[in-house]
Each structure stands twice: as C-alpha cells, then as structure tokens.
Amino acid sequence: MTADNFTLLAEDIAKRVATYQNGSPTTIIGPPTSGARVLNEFWRDALGGEFRCTGAGTPGTWIQIRPAAVTADPSSGTIPTGYLVLNATTGHIKRHTGGYVWEIP
C-alpha cells in the first residue's frame, strides 16, 4: 500500500455523510423502515445518526450506535421514538419521546 492509497482509504473511512439510496442522500430520520437488510449493515440517516443492523430481515432490527449532532432539537419530520441526538448548543444527549418532545435520559 502506498501513501496515496492510504490517504484515499483514510478519507473514505472518515466520511460522515448520509447513506445514499438510488444515488441521492437519504432523507430518512432514523433507521430504514423498508427493504431487505443484512446483519451488521451500517446506516447513516439524514441528520447524521448512525445505526447498525442487529437482525437481518425486512426492514431488519436496528440499534443506534451514534446520536445525531444537532444545534437545535428537531421539530419536524418523522422521528422515531427513542431516537438520540447530541444537542451541541446545550451539550446534552436527548431522547425523542414522541410528539417532538425530547428528554435528557
């Protein structure tokens, strides 16, 4: 492996962009809710939250492995209950409890 190859590999691994579907970044907040999924599949949602598939299937079983970093609590879109965010403004990790209500666990 040359230095150039290592640089390209490091840049590819460090990417923090939304998972792509059909060539476009996903607009889904939370893990996918459709499609066949495989064990240990990785998913990055529209806000940057990261998930890992813990049970293959359609749509699979998912665990959030990294909260989405935000500057304000999300107040629109379909947000799954239990979704975690790190509010960079307040420094708190918060969990969505439904109806755009957030709690500090």
Helices (H), the chain: 3-13
What is the domain extent for residue 88?
Answer: 3-103
Q: Is the model's pTM score more than 0.85?
A: no
Would you place residue 99 in the very low, low, confident or very high pLDDT band (cuts 50, 70, 90)? Answer: very high
Cα–Cα distance between 78 and 62 in angstroms, integer? 17
Q: Do the Cβ atoms of 82 and 68 come closer than 8 Å?
A: no
User: What would the mean pLDDT of 81-102 be, rounded to a whole number?
Assistant: 95
How many domains does the chain divide into? 1
Per-residue pLDDT tens over the stretch 17-40: 678 877 788 999 999 999 999 999
What lies within 8 Å, CB to CB, of 99 at 6+ separation is none
- Is the pLDDT confidence value at 92 over 80? yes
What's the gap between Cα 98 and its chain centre?
Answer: 18
- Note the pLDDT of residue 6: 56
Q: Which residue has the higher pLDDT, 23 or 61?
A: 61
Phi, psi (degrees; rounded to nearest 5) at 102: -120, 140
Cα–Cα distance between 19 and 36 in angstroms, integer? 15
Q: What percent of the chain has pLDDT over 70?
A: 84
